[in-house]
Chains A and B, each alone.
Chain A
Amino acid sequence: MLSEIMNGLRALLRHGNRNAEIAEELRSFEEASVAEKMRNGMSRETAERAVRVETGSAEAVRQKVWSAGWESVAEGLWRDVRHGMRRLIRAPGFALTAIITLALGIGANVVVFSVLNGLVLRPLGVPDPKSLYQIGRGASGGDTHAYPDYRDLRDRDTSFGGMLAYKALSAGMQIDQGTVRSWGYTTSGNYFDVLGVQPALGHFFHAADEKGLGSAPYIVLSYDFWRRQFGANPNVLGTMVKLNQHPFTVIGVAREGFRGTDVFFWPDYWMPVTNAEQVTGWSDFCCRDHYSFIVMGRLKPGVKPSQATESLNTVAAEMGRIDHKDEGLVLRLREPGPAGDENDPTKKGLLGIMLLTGLVLLAACTNLASIFAARAADRAGELAMRMAIGASRWIVFRQLLTETIIISLAGGLAGSLAARLLLGWLTTWQPFADFPVRLPVLPDAWIYAGAAALSLASGIFFGHFPARQIWRTNLVEAIKSGSAGMESFRRFALRDVLLLAQVTICTLLMTASAVAVRSMVKAMHIPLGFRPEGVTITQGDLNMAGYTGDNSLALQKHILAEAQAIPGVTEATLSDNVPFGNGGAFWFVYKWDTTEFVPAHMAFGATSFLVAPGFLQTVQMPLITGRDFTWHDDKTTPNVAIVNETFAKQLYGNESPIGKRFALWDTAKYEIVGEVANARYYSIGEKPQAMMMMPFAQGVGSYLTTNTTLAVRSVLPEEQVNAALHDLLRREAPATPFHIRRWSESIDLSLTMPRAVTLLLALMGMLAAVLAMTGIFGMASYSASKREKEQGIRIALGAEQVQVLRAALERPVLLLVFGSLLGMAGGILCSRFVSRLGVFATPSDPLVVLSVCAALLLIGVVATWIPARRTLHIDPARLLREG
């Protein structure tokens, strides 16, 4: 076998030697034969003639000897490739157009699929990601848990080999003298051990370090953060850094490439949850009401997810019997990240975009088909000639196939390279300067292989069906007319169909993308229901400084008064949290007459805010009916609430909610005193959801809050407000870390993904436009050049410019109009589909559809006009002379 290959290679490499050897052997054979025949009495001439007759053509013998080895196949292939290359170089316009067209289609698909792969399909970068599951909550939707609940689950469950919990946090990190804003995870002690990852430097913290509140002031840096902020200093271990003024010791650096357990969010560091309270200001470690931890578990070997779910729910039921709040808790397993969430907008959006990208490829392919059809028509004469002098149809077909494959591979390669560049840029792109959101979307080897296969398949399929014409060609006619010949009518019809298909697909794509982009833009301008512009948000939890709900109110009121007194501050208000703040409280709402307060009886869930009087006015949330709270609404007066429209509608239909009542639990019953307009509370794309507000001084069911959020509206520059607020809080609540930021900043953050999706859709629409343009331009140029002679005769016979132009433009324009009408119909259907992608609700938008059509028509007319104009400069005398 090996010698076979070696001999073949030797023969190929020393082509001439091998031929000379065959020739010499044949010659010696013939000479010996002649000598033998002469020995038997023939004359030399007779013997030589006889031998020549016996041997036949020396070339044929050589060919036969060659074809004894595999190298002849390789050689034939190589010959075809060289021939194909030569032909393509001689038609650079055709080759480039075809390659670029395919490259666009393939490139778009590589980009979108890589993004889909990187964000949704690819598992987390930890050992054995398949056995790692996130534990979600069944009924109430939110997939986060309170840390004490996690501990219960972990300690009681038996189906998991290990279970970890983490949540993201942000803090100011003081390194040496400067402070940087940093984002990290606070995790259970066993985090790294459950994942099975190893440090690059130093060591990680472990479950044993979790000895109670404040017991582990350690921090592990991410590799990137270590390089960025510590200059990859190997002596970083033991360094003291301060997170929100609290000292932590650096004990390790994670390995390069370990980016935590979220897909987009790459933490700068990890710290144990025991010490999170100092930093976040939330009692994360102990509080059973803060549902903010993501819990993941690694299944024991051999345990099926269904068994684990069952076992988890047994534990959940036990927990429900012990703690009222866990009653009716249903747990489920899901894959981590967007992949595991059926309704994840990223996943849905990307799947939809993938589908549209498929359409882009289809458009590129119809483009390709019409380019190849034009090429085949041009070459009909040449091919017919070759067949006439004895090339078999198979050989001609094989040559065309080789050309197609060369173009497909070149197109695929170009597309993949371009995609790689774009994706490389996307991977290093940081949407926010200080926020570690990244898009790990670099394609892997499988995607490249897929791209190659896809480009071959689409190239061969679409590039080749025009080549079927070879089988039908009438040689004589083709040679006589030099090109299209008798079949010109039919072939024109094929090209027309292709152009029509292309215009249709491109209109459809452009419509879909335009509708999506417009609805996105609209969504971004949808009133939030409040006005965040010019408002600075300051959030902290007095709990950190030892206050409780009962004794914090005086300080909170005092801070509010001081804030209102800052010069330049026009309005200030107080609440426990704000929309787009750091989470919000969520309660089950029951009808007034409910007696058993278990999740099964609840009416719905509602977000709640505890707000001071004047909150509505400061954030400019319009009150529809009823009254605002006053400071007299406190623990001594009856419970009152303000609800939003959705809340009112869900509980009381169209009746006015004022004076109506509802309950949260048996001792927390409320009378509604006001109704506010709906607003968005967590994300811009969210559906209207129920919300209620209670007086800050009254609390929820008599529980006052230590959470303190100041919303300050001012005309001062950002730094000045920040500095004033910072001083104020340093003075009044020195032991509590407060986080100060622009409110609009939080809202921007929530827009990252929708923005990215819209960008993708817009890019795709542009691609479709480019494809339409090149396709129409190519077709128009081609038919213009084909009709040059005819037009020349017209001009010679005295046709006016207008008439000449009309003849050139009539047909393509007709096709354009027809195609874009079809595309418009498709686009309307498609925009319904886009609206279901869940990016944003999209109303059918006739204006957009119409303007897309107009744009495409314009593109088409320009693309047709340019080649048609050339017709005007035809010199009839030259044309007719050349015949």
Chain B
Amino acid sequence: MGDKNQDLVQGTLEMLVLKTLALEPLHGYGIALRIEQISGGVFRVNPGSLLPALSRIERAGHVKSEWRASDNNRRAKYYVLTKAGRAALEQERRQWGEQIAAIHRILEA
């Protein structure tokens, strides 16, 4: 089994969750699926790390949640990005970009 998100760089899971929610509100599995699909199967997120991460960012006020009927007509908890969440995403994306560029420069030097 193995916890795939250990492959994720520390702290990036929350950023990726925010990014997927920036497009549209999703439920937990939807987020996991979206991350896996977009990363081409590189990142696989299991509920053991996703649900606590969602709980954290919800507590931080970056997302709101509500129970809705899902595609297959079952109840699921959907997460919606808040204004604060959007701002947080922008900030994290910028920091991430700066860090990547810096690391890149170091590796190319």
Show 10 A/B contacts (Cβ-Cβ < 8 Å), sorted by A: A28-B76, A29-B27, A32-B27, A32-B28, A32-B33, A54-B1, A56-B46, A61-B48, A64-B51, A68-B55
CB pair A28 B28 closer than 8 Å: yes
* Docked complex Cα distance between A820 and B60 (Å): 64
Task: Report chain A residues within 8 Å CB of B30.
Answer: 32
Q: Is B97's CB within 8 Å of the partner chain A?
A: no
For residue A72, give the distance in angstroms from its CB to the closest CB of chain B: 11
Which positions 35-82 of chain A face chain B at CB distance < 8 Å? 35-36, 53-56, 60-61, 64-65, 67-69
Contact B46–A54 (Cβ < 8 Å): yes
Q: Are A61 and B51 in contact (CB under 8 A)?
A: yes
Please tell me if the beta carbons of B46 and A32 are within 8 angstroms of each other in the complex.
Answer: no
Contact partners of B32 in chain A: CB under 8 A = 29, 33
A8 to B56, CA, bound (A): 11
* Contact of B33 with A67 in the complex, beta carbons under 8 Å: no
1/0 contact trace for B20-35 toward A, CB 8 Å?
A: 0000000111101100
Bound Cα distance from A31 to B73, whole angstroms: 12
Of the candidates B51, B56, B74, B76, which one forms a contact with A22 in the assembled complex, judged by CB atoms under 8 Å apart?
B51
Interface string of A7-29 (1 = CB under 8 A from B): 11000000000000110111011
Residues in chain A near residue B75, CB distance under 8 A? 24, 28
Q: Are A32 and B29 in contact (CB under 8 A)?
A: yes
Neighbouring B residues of A28 by C-beta, 8 Å: 27-29, 70, 74-77
Pairwise interchain contact A65-B51, C-beta atoms closer than 8 A: yes
Give Cα A8–Cα B46 distance, bound, in whole angstroms. 25
Bound together, the chains give a CA A68 to CA B75 distance in angstroms of 23
CA–CA, A54 and B56, complex, Å: 21
A46: shortest Cβ distance to chain B, in Å?
15
Question: Which B residues, 23 to 82, have Cβ-Cβ distances below 8 Å to chain A?
Answer: 27-30, 32-33, 46-53, 55-56, 59-61, 70, 72, 74-77
Are B52's CB and A64's CB within 8 A? Answer: yes
- Which residues of A sit under 8 angstroms from B74, Cβ to Cβ? 28, 31
Residue A3 at the B interface, CB < 8 A? yes
Chain B residues whose C-beta falls within 8 Å of the C-beta of A24 in the assembled complex: 75, 77
Assess the A69–B59 pair: CB atoms within 8 A: yes
Q: In the complex the two chains form, what is the Cα distance from A28 to B50 in whole Å?
A: 13
A128 interfacial by beta-carbon distance below 8 Å: no
Q: Is the CB of B77 within 8 A of A36?
A: no
Most buried by B among A30, A31, A56, A68: A68
Do residues A36 and B33 form an inter-chain contact, with CB atoms below 8 A?
yes
Residues of B within 8 A of A31 (CB): 74
Query: Are A67 and B52 in contact, CB atoms less than 8 angstroms apart?
Result: yes
Provide the residues of chain B in CB contact with A55, threshold 8 Å: 46-48
**CB-CB contacts of A392-413 with B at 8 A, as 1s and 0s?**
0000000000000000000000
Contact B52–A25 (Cβ < 8 Å): no
- In whole angstroms, how far apart are the Cα atoms of A410 and B53 in the complex? 40
Measured CA separation A3–B48 after assembly (Å): 25
Tell yes or no: A4 within 8 A of B by CB.
yes
Interface size on A, residues (CB 8 A): 28
Q: Interface residue count for B (Cβ, 8 Å)?
A: 26
Separation in Å of the B50 CB from the closest CB of chain A? 8
The 7 lowest CB-CB distance pairs between A and B, nearest first, are: A32-B29, A68-B55, A64-B52, A68-B56, A28-B76, A29-B28, A68-B52
Which A residues lie within 8 Å of B77 (CB)? 21, 24-25, 28
Q: Which residues of B contact A64 (CB under 8 A)?
A: 48-49, 51-52
In the complex the two chains form, what is the Cα distance from A61 to B28 in whole Å? 13
User: Looking across the interface, which residue of chain B has its beta carbon closest to that of A62?
Assistant: B51
Query: B59–A7 contact, CB under 8 A?
Result: yes
Residues of A338-362 contacting chain B, CB below 8 A: none
Contact yes or no, A26 B51, CB < 8 A = yes
Interface hub of B1, B29, B50 (most chain A Cβ within 10 A): B29
Is B47 within 8 A of A61, CB to CB?
yes
Q: Which of A29, A30, A36, A53 has the most CB of B within 10 A?
A: A29
Name which residue of chain B comes closest to A30, CB basis. B47
Q: How far, in angstroms, from A54 to B59 measured CA to CA in the complex?
A: 25
B66 to chain A, nearest CB (A): 12
Give the CA-CA distance A556 to B77 in the complex, in Å: 107
Closest to A35 in B: B72
Whether A56 pairs with B29 at a CB distance below 8 angstroms is no
Select from chain B the residue with minimum beta-carbon distance to A21.
Answer: B77
- Bound together, the chains give a CA A65 to CA B55 distance in angstroms of 6
Residues of A contacting B29 with CB < 8 Å? 28-29, 32-33, 36
CB distance from A1 to the nearest CB of B (A): 10
Q: Considering the chains assembled together, what is the distance between the CA atoms of A8 and B53 in angstroms?
A: 16
* Interface membership of chain A positions 170-212, coded 1 if the CB is closer than 8 angstroms to chain B and 0 otherwise: 0000000000000000000000000000000000000000000
Which residues of the partner chain B approach A68 to less than 8 Å between Cβ atoms?
52-53, 55-56, 59
Q: Is A32 within 8 A of B1, CB to CB?
A: no
For residue A35, which residues in chain B have a CB less than 8 angstroms away from its CB? Answer: 72
Cβ-defined contact, B52 with A32, below 8 A? no
Q: A24-B75, A32-B29, A68-B53 are in contact. List 9 more A-B contacts (CB 8 A).
A: A4-B60, A7-B59, A24-B77, A29-B47, A32-B28, A32-B30, A68-B52, A68-B55, A68-B56
- Which residue of B has the minimal Cβ distance to A32? B29
Question: Chain B nearest CB: distance from A47 CB in Å?
Answer: 13
Could you say which residues of chain B place their CB within 8 Å of the CB of A4? 59-61
Give chain B nearest CB distance to A505 CB in angstroms.
53
B76 contacts across to A, CB distance below 8 A: 25, 28, 32
- CB neighbours (8 Å) of A56 from chain B are 1, 46, 48
Residue of A nearest to B4 (CB): A54
Closest to A57 in B: B48
Of residues 238 to 289 in A, which have CB atoms within 8 Å of B's CB atoms?
none
Q: Chain B residue with minimal CB distance to A55?
A: B47
Return chain A residues, CB-CB under 8 Å to B48: 55-56, 60-61, 64
Shortest Cβ distance from A498 into chain B, in angstroms?
Answer: 47
Instruction: Look across to chain B and name the residue whose beta carbon is closest to the beta carbon of A3.
Output: B61
Measured in the bound complex, the distance between the Cα atoms of B95 and A781 in whole Å is 68
Q: Which of B47, B53, B60, B74 has the most CB of A within 10 A?
A: B47
B70 and A65 contacting across the interface, CB-CB below 8 Å: no
Minimum C-beta distance from A30 to chain B (A): 7
Residues of chain A within 8 A of B56, CB atoms compared:
68-69
